[in-house]
């Protein structure tokens, strides 16, 4: 399965989601490739920090850009169970190349922020990429939620109305532990002291993504 994590605006938690998904897939025993297609290269830094902390990443990490994202991913696909592409937060040639080969696209949005107003641009991007990759499945993740249930509910409805993105039912709330864990090359399910709420949310999201993946593979 090829997952692309991307969007149009930076700062919504795309890299955190990409490395978390990568590590959780690897921790479940799958052979995973993390592709850093973002010029900021934060996912690559995470892999380095993870090696410093754990001695190894548990997955393979590469940096690719532009057309090489598509070409190299297609070459490497037979060697891995899953590929996770961190496509960054801009409409770039790298992100578009990633979406031509992706099975599942996940775009994080933060409710009650400028993130949600980029929805039209994201849906337009998905619509255009489906002309090349008609089987592309696209989901929105409500991320960095501040606890305001009204904002969360309104954001869900706003995204649903687009008719392009489906909304993942497992949001992630704004918690410092995500950044603290990442700074050590860890994800929240590995970090100590354990934050029960963050672990529960992350585990629920991972289970939901796996459920979607299993349905797609069976169809």
Confirm whether pTM is higher than 0.85.
Answer: yes
Bridge partners of 32, per DSSP, are 82
The listed range with the strongest mean pLDDT (84-98, 107-121, 139-153) is: 84-98
- Cα separation, 5 vs 105, whole angstroms: 6
Verify cis geometry, omega within 30 degrees of 0, for the bond prior to 193.
yes
- Cα separation, 66 vs 77, whole angstroms: 17
Q: Mind listing the pLDDT tens digit for each residue in 170-203?
A: 999 999 999 999 999 999 999 999 999 999 999 9
The torsion angle over the Cα atoms of residues 143, 45, 9 and 134, rounded to 10 degrees, is -80
Q: Which residues of 29-50 are buried (b: 16+ CB within 10 A; e: fewer)?
A: eeebbbbbbbeebbbbbbbebb
- The dihedral of CA 204, 206, 207, 212: what is its sign? positive
Closest CA to 203 of 185, 215, 190: 190
Domain ranges of the chain: 2-218
pLDDT band for position 114 (50/70/90)? low
Between the alpha carbon of residue 106 and those of residues 79, 119, 143, 184, 191, the distances in Å are 23, 13, 11, 24, 24
Give the fold, CATH level 3, of 2-218: Rossmann fold (3.40.50)
Compute the half-sphere exposure of residue 52: CA atoms within 13 Å on the CB side of its CA. 10
- Cα separation, 9 vs 176, whole angstroms: 21
Q: Residue 115 pLDDT more than 70?
A: no
Q: What is the mean pLDDT of the chain?
A: 93
């Amino acid at each position: 399965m090829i997952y692309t994590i991307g969007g149009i605006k930076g700062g919504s938690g795309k890299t955190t989601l990409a490395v978390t998904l990568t590590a959780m897939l690897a921790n479940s025993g799958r052979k995973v490739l993390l592709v850093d297609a973002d010029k900021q290269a934060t996912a690559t830094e995470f892999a380095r920090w993870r090696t410093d902390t754990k001695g190894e990443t548990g997955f393979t990490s590469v940096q690719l850009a532009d057309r090489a994202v598509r070409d190299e991913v297609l070459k490497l696909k037979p060697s891995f169970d899953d590929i996770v592409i961190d496509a960054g937060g801009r409409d770039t040639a790298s992100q578009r190349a990633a979406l031509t080969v992706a099975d599942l696209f996940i775009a994080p949005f933060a409710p009650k922020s400028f993130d949600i107003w980029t929805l039209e641009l994201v849906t337009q991007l998905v619509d255009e990429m489906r002309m090349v990759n008609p089987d592309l499945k696209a989901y929105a993740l409500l991320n960095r939620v501040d606890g305001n249930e009204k904002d969360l509910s309104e954001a869900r409805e706003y995204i649903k109305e687009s008719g392009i993105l489906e909304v993942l039912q497992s949001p992630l709330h704004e918690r410092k532990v995500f950044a603290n864990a990442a700074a050590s090359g860890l994800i929240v399910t590995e970090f100590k002291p354990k934050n029960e709420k963050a672990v529960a949310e992350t585990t629920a999201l991972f289970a939901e993504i796996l459920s979607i993946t299993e349905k797609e593979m069976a169809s």
